Amino acid sequence: MAARTLRIGLIPGDGIGREVIPAGRRILEALPSSFGLKFSFSHHEAGFETFQKRGKALPDETVEALKSECDGALFGAVSSPTTKVEGYSSPIVALRKRLALYANVRPVKSTRSAARPVDLVIVRENTEDLYVKEEKTYNAPDGSRIAEAIKRISETASSNIAAMAGDIALRRQRVRDSGLASIHNRGLVTITHKSNVLSQTDGLFREVSRKVLGAEKYQMLEIEEQIVDSMVYKLFRQPGDYDVIVAPNLYGDILSDGAAALVGSLGLVPSANVGKDFVIGEPCHGSAPDIEGRGIANPIATIRSTALMLEFQGEERAAAKIYEAVDANLEEGKLLTPDMGGKATTEEVIEDVCKRL
């Protein structure tokens, strides 16, 4: 059988993105030929430094190249300023919208030997909520300023993300049924919202998610819901209780970054921005200017994001092989970067995982 060639766009972005995205390429190139995969790579620009050089954080040619020349992509990190910079907006948020990547999928998993095992996936709606970035500031009658932001929740987006969460929960259950050890014994989807206060927006998200996940297709799953503030508390107190969590954009963003603390570092946590026709793997960490150029950035999140990208391209066997190599590196614990309490360099970790492939 002829090998399948996947065309992968590489977008390092800012800061340590330039140090960890090469790890994704090397992992793909290190995959055994028995998986029947070949890869071609192209390099593209986006990020705050691109904005400073070119006046655009996301050049049109980057978007067009991804659409016409790539089957998937890996995105590094963005240095977004904390104060307003005229004309600048986050390129990854724009990419999600322009490529219709409606789901952000973030697995959070501990090692098997962890004192408090964690194995969950946060499925975050990726295109709307407060992230539509429709804001305005105006003066009140007394002259003081008022700022307002639109929170948009649609039936279509809520339906799509609920179905994605249900499908991921079913896939995870099939893996468990095949005999793979897990901390869970049943598929569970937890719908997270704040409909007790936001009855229109979060109320719609809750209603639509319940309807979608109530379909016959998902009958084998258990469906529950949590108010977001209670969800935060219980996630940190009892992380082993959760399997798949689905949430609107803002809550999903906060929950997924917070959940990284359960496994020790943002440097371990991957994500995938998923649409119907395209997927971008993206580590959850930022550009980390404090360690940029020191060669100690943790590449594990990027390596896992690379596997997640493959998973959503239908290459689950190859993805599983990468996950297995990463888990072996972490279980052994001899080559860990400083964020994990070790002294290993980025290069040493990449080499170790490649050897395990």
Give yes or no for a contact between 17 and 73, defined as CB atoms under 8 angstroms apart.
no
- The answer to whether residue 173 scores a pLDDT higher than 90 is no
- Mean pLDDT within 313-339: 91
For domain 127-263, the question of CATH label 3.40.50.2020 is answered with no
Cα separation of 55 and 58, whole Å? 9
Domain residue extents for the chain: 1-101+275-357, 127-263
Name the most confidently modeled range: 91-95, 167-171, 179-183, 223-227.
223-227
C-alpha distances (whole Å) from 155 to each of 199, 205, 209, 339 are 14, 7, 9, 41
pLDDT more than 70, % of the chain: 97
Whether this model's pTM surpasses 0.75: yes
Tell me the three state secondary structure of residue 134.
coil
- The answer to whether domain 1-101+275-357 and domain 127-263 are alike in fold is yes
1-101+275-357 CATH:
3.40.718.10
| Burial of 182 per CB tally in 10 Å (0-12, 13-18, 19+) | middle
Q: What is the pLDDT of residue 267?
A: 87
pLDDT more than 90, % of the chain: 76
Cα separation of 272 and 319, whole Å? 13
- The answer to whether residue 112 scores a pLDDT higher than 80 is no
- Mean pLDDT within 50-57: 93
- The answer to whether residue 232 scores a pLDDT higher than 90 is yes
- The answer to whether residue 180 scores a pLDDT higher than 60 is no
Q: What is the pLDDT of residue 183?
A: 60
